[in-house]
Structure 1
């Protein structure tokens, strides 16, 4: 039954999507996929092999003697462009993205009553089973907090080409998110976007987030409405020896800022078209 659900979902996205060439014309959509239905961190070694490189071992998050903690991005300056200047960011926000493993996060969640039933159904049928995008459905789901691991993916020259951010619930250890983070420039774009790929069996969900600096050195990351090839969310599947992609009307906004007490926080909203679906609030504190 589970296999039929996964196969059926790929057939659906093949039907509504368009054929893509991930090697050439649509290389901006090339991202890790999982070889099995249970995702977890099983995609990491294959992604490192694709780049001819390696995956760093788990880094200690609280021991300063272990050296600089790894981050989702090697440096925020890789996002610089006509509309973004990393030097204007609050240093704490830069540190979070450049040394993510050194930070501890607490999270609070809230669902729109309109979308909660669909979210619960997806979580039961897919999210918890495949260990991917298993969004917390109730506030008490995250009462004990969330553990976070960052593993850097390097190419044959040792350069960081991606970072796996693996987030699990305490105390169960159940995967919530298993994402690959990098900076990527879309076709014709003036500057890079933050690219996040969530591997699935023979496919993935991808989000391209436009970075903007807000007042006081804050950071806004947004996947707005737009055309195919612009910032936004996409589903990619491999089926029948071919690849297909569809742009989906899922939009996200992350607002990172420091509150009046100097605490780094994030407001995260997910929307279907213009209607909010889920809101999360993160409190981030330096663990080292």
Structure 2
């Protein structure tokens, strides 16, 4: 007789497989080695993600993986995003330092869900986020009341160039994983302006976000993923099922604004939208570690 835990695990496997088949049905077939190489990003080999994808990702990129160290950053230099619509020289020094030395900053967070979407957020967190250790958007504000811990692993080419970074974020109170993502600079086909490319691995798939950079007149830094057609900046889901890889553009839109408050404390406002409805507001306070 199968134990209850085995039944639950089988149900979870069935749910995950059904989800991948759904994205195959509604998405478009893509070629990650040809026309759609811009969507080639790490996937996880098992249901539980956490940090288990790092070594395989390093192998696929032909890069060396460094352990988390002080001074590691999501980007080698914010100026790597310079292009027709953005110049890092217009961004405050503290913000440039955060991206170049992310591991040297401590993060505190607050969250506020729209009442309409909070039940759905709790359902996704319960069925997927906490279980797989990925994309576990905090639903209860007290969950993040003690702050968020983060580790940054840098991927380097044979010549020592930083080609990407993995940012792993966990709840300080419990150690549970919230996000585990790959960060790098990317260029979409036909778009001259480089963007920030973030990929969150999942079993046989991932969620990816391409974010357009902007510099505010007050030295702030803004990243947006506005609505647009397939191939533009925005959010995508990629799933592999039955040997076929499919992708769909999601109606999710994000806006990050990093800025210095009147007391020169670095803060971030993060809004998540579904179509025209705001789903979630997150606020981060970023303080240099002693």
TM class, shorter-chain normalised? over 0.9
**What are structure 1's unaligned runs of at least 5 residues?**
61-68
In 2: Cα distance, 1:161 partner to 1:18 partner: 28
The normalised TM-score by structure 2 is: 0.95
2:24 aligns to what SS in structure 1?
A: helix
Partner in structure 2 of residue 54 of structure 1: 64
Moved more, 112-121 or 157-166: 157-166
In 2: Cα distance, 1:71 partner to 1:271 partner: 27
Query: What do the CA deviations read for 1:115-141 (whole angstroms, capped 9, x no partner)?
Result: 001110010000000000001111100
Partner in structure 2 of residue 23 of structure 1: 33
1:3-152 pair list within 5 angstroms = 3-60=13-70, 69-152=71-154
Cα drift, residue 278 of structure 1: 0.3
Query: What do the CA deviations read for 1:241-265 (whole angstroms, capped 9, x no partner)?
Result: 1210000100000011000100000
Partner in structure 1 of residue 255 of structure 2: 253
Partner in structure 2 of residue 64 of structure 1: none
> Out of 218, 227, 238, which is 2:240 matched to?
238
Q: CA RMSD in A?
A: 0.8
Cα drift, residue 158 of structure 1: 2.6
Cα drift, residue 156 of structure 1: 3.0
In 1: Cα distance, 2:62 partner to 2:228 partner: 34
Cα drift, residue 171 of structure 1: 2.1
Partner in structure 1 of residue 7 of structure 2: none
In 2: Cα distance, 1:190 partner to 1:170 partner: 39
Cα drift, residue 99 of structure 1: 0.5
**Equivalent pairs, count:** 280
Partner in structure 1 of residue 182 of structure 2: 180
Q: Which runs of 4+ in 1 moved over 2 A?
A: 155-158
Cα drift, residue 155 of structure 1: 2.5
Q: Is the 8 A contact 2:206 2:239 kept in 1?
A: yes
1:22 aligns to what SS in structure 2?
A: coil
In 2: Cα distance, 1:266 partner to 1:53 partner: 31
1:12 aligns to what SS in structure 2?
A: helix
Partner in structure 2 of residue 208 of structure 1: 210
Cα drift, residue 114 of structure 1: 0.4
Q: Is the 8 A contact 1:53 1:157 kept in 2?
A: no
Q: Is the 8 A contact 1:70 1:152 kept in 2?
A: yes
Cα drift, residue 161 of structure 1: 1.3
In 1: Cα distance, 2:142 partner to 2:257 partner: 23
The normalised TM-score by structure 1 is: 0.96
In 1: Cα distance, 2:61 partner to 2:203 partner: 20
